[in-house]
Structure 1
Amino acid sequence: MNRSLRGLLYAAQGVVLALSLVGVAALAQDAPGLRIGVRGEITGISGDVLRVHASTGENVSVDLTAQTQVRAVTLANIEDIKPGSYIGSAAMPMADGTLKALEVHVFPPQLAGTGDGHRPFDLAKGSSMTNGSVGDLVVSNGRTLTVNYKGGQQKILVPDDVPIVNLAPGDRSLLKAGVKVVMFVTQGADGKLTAQSISAGKDGVAPPM
């Protein structure tokens, strides 16, 4: 892997998103089979090859396979989150131990359990990712979610201006030039990137994870 490509990739554990998008973030190393994440905008697709302009400015090509999972990212609101909903949230710690959300994504029922837990994340310096089931939602002095996962619990404050999105099953018809994506990929021994999962913004939505 060349030095510039190394700079745009981060190591991740778990399934995100997403988006997420989820796992321990670190700079990717030259290790075939390592699972890494890329955020960016699709610039084109030709057959089974997706071309993406990464958020760091690099242009990369990513192979698609029959096993590549594609999910649609659509706008949601706090009313879509109820006790029992399974969510993920990138967040920053506050002085009282409560987390302040940077974004919230709501999983469909069939994806409940995805990336369950609480771990460091790379959306912002010092941020974390929490995936779990909502126990309580309190609307008082802001909106606070109690999120339960195996072995723990977190309280997450969701400010009014924080983006909230739904994740839904999708297909390759979502993968078009101009669409914003968050991808988890693996790097082969030959350096090629292969997409394991893609969260693609629908109707102009930019995945916030």
Structure 2
Amino acid sequence: MNQHSLRRLVYATLLATLATPLTVQAQAKAAPPIDGIIGKLQAFDGKTLDVATSSGVVHVVVKGHLTTYKQVSSDLSHVAAAPYIGVASAEQDGKQVAKQIFIFPMELRGAAEGSVLTDPPGASSHSRMTNGSVSRPAGSHSRMTNGTVQNSNGTTLVVNYQDGSQTISVPPGVPVTEVVPQQVTFTPGDAVYATTKKLPDGTLVTDKIFQFVPAAASH
């Protein structure tokens, strides 16, 4: 898997914070951003991990009790009340259409916060938060949006983040997964997100790691 494919997978898989406008007018505030890194796991020994990111390999030290997370199957009925969501979407007919939705727990509120294109500059198609193997029409634009649900009506979502919001259409049958604490066996090559803090000496430390898995395998 090359770096462009990895960025597309990761942004599309994790950084997709769901925003579906339901009739509920929650007007939730944007979540304070959580520092973190996302990329392809190179090595993990329980005490340290090396993650290949778009800017190079990053070394992180596990500090304190480590909590690991993975995805379990969920549904749209849990989206409106979610503390934080991620949405992988693709542009179709001038609007963002959800391809996958992630419901994050309160302690990950603010992870990968924002809305970003996930394909490399100059590519013919652009993803904002599109999950790995999702196919898109040529010229479509995909992105990954992480934030809090402002409102939802079951067919449309509005996701708030620090510097704006994103309205996303939600088609029937879109996969929804909940990110939950669970023991994970990590393997080199896994797509992972680790929250990070920088110590005064520059060392990055983490106590939370999320393993991304394809929608079809996340049940």
TM-score under structure 2 length normalisation? 0.54
Alignment equivalent of 1:127, drawn from 132, 135, 142:
142
- The amino acid that maps onto 2:167 is K
Alignment equivalent of 2:192, drawn from 177, 183, 186:
183
Distance 1:175 1:99, change over 3 A: same
Find out whether 1:174 has 2:174 as its counterpart.
Answer: no
CA distance in 1, matches of 2:152, 2:116: 22
Output aligned runs, 1:112-151, within 5 Å: 112-122=109-119, 124=130, 126-139=141-154, 143-151=155-163
Q: CA deviation at 1:20?
A: 4.2
Alignment equivalent of 2:39, drawn from 37, 43, 47:
37
Alignment equivalent of 2:85, drawn from 80, 84, 87:
87
SS at match of 2:210: strand
Q: CA deviation at 1:6?
A: 5.6
Find out whether 1:105 has 2:102 as its counterpart.
Answer: yes
Find out whether 1:76 has 2:74 as its counterpart.
Answer: yes
SS at match of 1:174: coil
Q: CA deviation at 1:164?
A: 0.5
Cα deviation, 1:5-35, whole Å, max 9, x if unaligned, reads: 66764499xx97962479xxxxxxxxxxxx5
Distance 1:79 1:181, change over 3 A: farther
CA distance in 1, matches of 2:107, 2:77: 20
Partner of 1:199: 210
CA distance in 2, matches of 1:113, 1:94: 27
Q: CA deviation at 1:126?
A: 3.0
Q: CA deviation at 1:206?
A: 2.5
Ranked by relative contact order (alpha carbons within 8 Å, sequence separation 6 or more), the top structure is 2
Q: CA deviation at 1:150?
A: 1.7
Distance 1:111 1:18, change over 3 A: farther
SS at match of 1:79: helix
Partner of 1:162: 174
Cα deviation, 1:93-122, whole Å, max 9, x if unaligned, reads: 2334x3101110001122212222111125
Q: Taking every aligned residue pair, what percent have the same amino acid on both sides?
A: 25
Cα deviation, 1:30-62, whole Å, max 9, x if unaligned, reads: xxxxx55138xxxxx987799xxxxxxxxxxx9
Tell whether the 8 Å contact from 1:99 to 1:155 is kept in structure 2 after alignment.
yes
Q: CA deviation at 1:137?
A: 1.1
Alignment equivalent of 1:153, drawn from 159, 165, 175:
165
CA distance in 2, matches of 1:158, 1:65: 37
SS at match of 2:112: coil
Distance 1:37 1:81, change over 3 A: same
Partner of 1:19: 14
Distance 1:46 1:77, change over 3 A: same
Unaligned runs of 5+ in 1: 23-34, 40-44, 51-61, 186-194
Q: CA deviation at 1:87?
A: 0.5
